[in-house]
Chains A and B, each alone.
Chain A
């Protein structure tokens, strides 16, 4: 089969391919229903092996610790942020039908704010007070892995907050997310994780322990769902302040 990755599918399902082969399969799967169907059959094998995992009783403290970390307020915030997500992740019910509308409205508001603030920077005459020049905008460009991807990071006056907007990011699986990295002196700190809609469009409100404009560059990689302590996957966007 020309250009198909059928031979690599069993290893891909098992997760034992090297990064370059994994990326090759992942890229191919975005447009090949034949290989996707093949993958689903091998994922069933993996799932069935999971069923025979010997069961070990967990310590009771796990449950207590878990619910000390669960915050209803965070849940409300997160559900608004994930509005406008991919149809691939849509969940049935009225909640699923309302979310995309909220997502589109909130993203439109963010886009308008970004555009008006950026225009204010461009049109500000010389000698004007600098109170309008505080927002910083980092243009992010695609990589060899995702040449069509694009994004901007808008950083607030005091550098404490930022808003990331991305477009045309590559398709990823439900076990993956994109992760923003804040880079200074070769050190990378987590800026947050996010997902995108089918067109690769998404946003993230960013905060960090240090002012965002203290970092010199920013990158986005593909990571396991929930994020990683450090970058492990393909880089899809990068930019410098």
Chain B
């Protein structure tokens, strides 16, 4: 019997280590991947992964089902910790993702033991995200990637690119606004297509 993610969280709240193990088997790869995408170092990504799941073990009760899915919650924790690690260590990641344009990312549809419907939904969702990213001007995509994966601030991005701060802020703002509008449009289209 496959337990729902929220049920596993509730079991972790009650101190069930097996539930934590299932959560790790289910999302450990995602957590490691999110961490690695930012820090570019296997050892640091491994440490972040442990810290994320230790945090889940200690504070599972902080999960709020009204605010989103377990997977999203865990991935967000992983990204936040990875960004913090990059900032604290002043790491210049050498990993192969840092200089790759955000639109080149692919999704592995076989990574999880999920029901078929979820795989299809995920495939559509990732396709929508890639489509939306492709529609951004390259200069907007670039600054979004620098902020998203390396945790750089507007000023740090401006300094690195040699661009005015106001220009960077505008590109980030416009890029995020466009992503939001496009993804909302795609969601409406997908609903109407059902």
A→B interface (CB under 8 Å): 7, 10-11, 13-18, 41-42, 44-59, 61-63, 65-67, 69-70, 72, 74-76, 78-79, 82, 85, 88-93, 95-96, 99, 174-175, 195, 224-226, 228-230, 232
Docked-complex contact A45 and B169, CB < 8 angstroms:
no
Q: A52 and B83 in contact (CB under 8 A), knowing A62-B49, A67-B17, A79-B61? A: no
Docked-complex contact A225 and B105, CB < 8 angstroms:
no
A selection of 23 A-B contacts at a CB cut-off of 8 Å is: A7-B173, A11-B154, A14-B172, A16-B151, A18-B153, A44-B180, A49-B179, A53-B34, A53-B75, A54-B97, A54-B106, A55-B108, A56-B33, A58-B45, A65-B46, A66-B24, A66-B50, A70-B54, A75-B15, A76-B15, A79-B15, A226-B51, A232-B84
Docked-complex contact B172 and A10, CB < 8 angstroms:
yes
Docked-complex contact A92 and B65, CB < 8 angstroms:
yes
Task: Label chain B's interface by main secondary structure.
Answer: helix
Docked-complex contact B64 and A70, CB < 8 angstroms:
no
Question: Of B10, B42, B133, B147, which contacts A14 at CB under 8 A?
Answer: B147
Q: How far in angstroms is the closest Cβ of chain A from B96? A: 9
Nearest A-chain residue to B21, judged by Cβ: A67
B72 at the interface (CB under 8 A from A): yes
Residues of B66-91 contacting chain A, CB below 8 A: 67-68, 72, 75-77, 79-81, 83-84, 87-88
Docked-complex contact B61 and A75, CB < 8 angstroms:
no
Question: Of B58, B80, B172, which contacts A78 at CB under 8 A?
Answer: B58
Q: How far in angstroms is the closest Cβ of chain A from B152? A: 6
Question: Of B75, B81, B180, which contacts A45 at CB under 8 A?
Answer: B180
B→A interface (CB under 8 Å): 9-10, 13-15, 17, 20-21, 24-25, 28-30, 32-34, 36-37, 42, 45-46, 49-51, 53-55, 57-65, 67-68, 72, 75-77, 79-81, 83-84, 87-88, 97, 102, 105-108, 111, 122, 125-126, 128-130, 133, 144, 147-148, 151-155, 157, 169, 172-173, 176-177, 179-180, 183-184
Q: How far in angstroms is the closest Cβ of chain B from A40? A: 8
| Distance in angstroms between the alpha carbons of A239 and B68 in the assembled complex | 38
Docked-complex contact A174 and B64, CB < 8 angstroms:
yes
> In the assembled complex, which residues on chain B have CB atoms less than 8 Å from the CB atom of A228?
84, 88
> In the assembled complex, which residues on chain A have CB atoms less than 8 Å from the CB atom of B53?
66
Docked-complex contact A96 and B61, CB < 8 angstroms:
yes
Nearest A-chain residue to B46, judged by Cβ: A62
Q: Which 10 A-B pairs have the closest CB atoms?
A: A10-B176, A58-B32, A16-B147, A75-B15, A50-B75, A55-B108, A89-B62, A56-B33, A52-B105, A55-B33
Nearest A-chain residue to B169, judged by Cβ: A11
Nearest B-chain residue to A22, judged by Cβ: B153
Q: How far in angstroms is the closest Cβ of chain B from A54? A: 5
> In the assembled complex, which residues on chain A have CB atoms less than 8 Å from the CB atom of B183?
44-45, 48
> In the assembled complex, which residues on chain B have CB atoms less than 8 Å from the CB atom of A95?
10, 13-14, 61
Docked-complex contact A53 and B172, CB < 8 angstroms:
no
Docked-complex contact B125 and A57, CB < 8 angstroms:
no
Q: A10 and B173 in contact (CB under 8 A), knowing A65-B50, A89-B61? A: yes
> In the assembled complex, which residues on chain A have CB atoms less than 8 Å from the CB atom of B122?
51
Docked-complex contact A57 and B29, CB < 8 angstroms:
yes
